[in-house]
Structure formats: C-alpha cells, structure tokens
Amino acid sequence: MKLAASPVRTNLQRWGRAYFAVQAMAGVAWWIAVFLSPAVRTATLGSLDPIAVAVFDVPLFVVGSAVAAFGVRAAALVTAGWTGVVAVALAGYATITTEAGWGVLIMLAATACSGVAVCLVMLGRVPTELIVRGPFAFRPASARRTTAAHVGATLGQMALFWGFFLGLLPLALVWLEQRWGVSLAFPSMAVPAGLTILLLASALGVASAVTMSSRGSGTPLPSAMPNRLVIAGPYRWVRNPMAVAGISQGVAVGLLLGSWLVVAYAVLGSLLWNYAVRPLEEADLEDRFGAEFRQYRDAVRCWIPRW
C-alpha cells in the first residue's frame, strides 16, 4: 500500500514546480529581449549566433522548464542538467573571448536554483545532510589531545581557510569579474570601510576560535568538534561568532578589492551556512549537550548580539 506524501513535502514540491514555471516565463522574456535588443544579445551571448543557440535552448530550457512545472520529473532533470551544461560552456566561452559575462552570471544563478528546484520536485526536500558526510561528518575531537594542541590546530586551520576563502578564491573571482566584463564601480569609501571591517572581523574570528579550542577541547572543524559546550568570550553574546566574523571578512575583502562578485560570494555563503549547515550543526549540538544547549539557544541569538 502506497503511503500518502506529507503535507510539507507536497508543499515543497509545489514550490519546486513554481520555480520551473517562473524560469520558463523568464526564458521566454529573455529570448524575446535577445532578438529585439542588440544590447541584451551582446551582454548575454556575445558574438554567438542566437538562432543556433535557440535551437537547443528553447526546447531544453524554456519548454523543459514549462513541462517540469507540471511535475514531470524527467523534464526537471533534463532542464537542470542542460542549464548546468550551458553555464559551464558559456563560462568557458566568456573566459576565452571576454564576451557574454552577464549571460554567464544569469546561467550560473539558474543552475543553482534549478538544482534546488529539481531536488524539491524529485524528493520534496533538499538533501543538505550530504554536506556533513565523510570527512565533514560531525565528530568530537580526541579527548587525549592537550589544550595547546587544540589551539595550535585551530590556528593552523584558520590560516589555511583564510588563505583560501579570503585570499585565493576572492582573487580568482576578481580576475573572472574583469575577464567577463561585469565589474562595477565602488565608492571611494569602500577601501577604508573594508579595512576597518576586516580588522574588527578578524579580531572577532581569532578570539572566537581561541575561546572555542581552549574552553571546549576541540576545534571549529566538524571532524574535531569541541567536547564541551562553549558559552564564554564572544559566545556569550552571539551563538556563531566565527560565522559572523567569516562573512564580515568576506564582505570586507570584496570592498577592499572593489569586487561586487566577492561581496555576493560572501552573502551567498552566509545564506548557505544559515539554511543548510547551521540546522545540522545545531541538531548535533542538541543531540550531544541536550538541555544545556537548548537553554543556550533560547538565551543567545544566532546573528544579532544580545548584550
């Protein structure tokens, strides 16, 4: 006997179908603009022949999205897959030719949204638990390690993460932003504002990391999490000071580099962390620390400090 789908799952599937309906209408509007406006055609397709692109894109993207809006799962899979292929191909084309940069950004956004929508249509949810599998699974740190070892490991992790997420990746985004021709002018106050935010956020990040590793006998990494619930230092005022610091640092680096893509990357990272990672992390904390964590969660907010 087949069990009826839960109301929540059914509602999320409707949201997925609604997205594909919106995407189909947006696709129609975009193709009309491509053929009527040379500016739109140049910004999104560069020198590509719009007719040759439309032969494939209209049935696979526009029509496919419309069919997926009626709940046809095969159409949702085909449309999402095609969107990803177009995004990758267009990104390569734009990087080589310096054309169609805005088209790349549009298709990358469509790829991400289509991926979420296809999960909703197929599963009735987004399987965020896959994020914390394997080496990223939540595990307590070894109790045999000393406090100094935990602090040292934490500082080493911070150096690696800051070097990649606040150094190499932003520089790559700036290069792509310039290569794709999608740069925007920043006001003159962006640099001093970015420097101030970066210094304050970095101080908060270091203080939070040292507090966690010295008081909690662990590190910020999921594979070596603290063995004790930390309610000291910055954690007295906000539940996730390291996340606040990291996101602020990303925005600050974007201001310093004059890159709106880096700022957007930091904002998108905050959304991903808040809606995908944080619920999993807090469920693990509640499972391990029970009433102590629930009391802390009720008393201290996640993002906005409570003095």
Question: Each residue of 247-304: pLDDT tens digit?
Answer: 999 999 999 999 999 999 999 999 999 999 999 999 999 999 999 999 999 999 999 8
- Within 8 A by CB and 6+ apart from 16, the residues are 76, 116, 117, 118, 119, 120, 121
Last residue of a domain, one of 108, 126, 144: 126
Same domain, 43 and 17: yes
- Say what the pLDDT of residue 133 is: 81
Q: End of a domain among 97, 126, 155? A: 126
Reported pTM: 0.90
Do residue 49 and residue 188 come from a single domain? no
Q: Which of 91, 126, 161 is the last residue of a domain?
A: 126
206 and 227 share one domain = yes
Residue-wise pLDDT for 42-101, tens only, equals 999 999 999 999 999 999 999 999 999 999 999 999 999 999 999 999 999 999 999 999
Helix or strand holding residue 29 (H, E): helix 7-36
Regarding whether 84 and 66 lie in a shared domain, the answer is yes
Q: Do 275 and 148 have their domain in common?
A: yes
- Domain identity same for 139 and 231: yes
CATH number of residue 236's parent domain = 1.20.120.1630
Structural domain that includes position 138: 133-299
CA distance 119 to 127: 8
Claim to verify: residue 226 and residue 178 sit in the same structural domain: yes
Do 143 and 169 reside in the same domain of the chain?
yes
Same domain, 193 and 229: yes
Same domain assignment for residues 236 and 274: yes
Average pLDDT over residues 26-37: 97
The residues, ordered by sequence, that sit 6+ positions from 304 with a Cβ below 8 Å of its Cβ are 238
In angstroms, what CA-CA distances link 237 with 111, 204, 214? 37, 12, 18
Tell me how far apart the alpha carbons of residues 288 and 278 are, in angstroms, rounded to a whole number.
15
Q: Are 24 and 69 in contact (CB under 8 A)?
A: yes
CA–CA distance, 155 with 168 (Å, rounded to integer): 18
Same domain, 174 and 272: yes
Please state the domain count of the chain. 2
Tens digits of per-residue pLDDT, 101-160?
Answer: 999 999 999 999 999 999 999 999 999 888 888 777 888 888 788 889 889 988 998 999
Assess whether 137 and 121 both reside in one domain: no
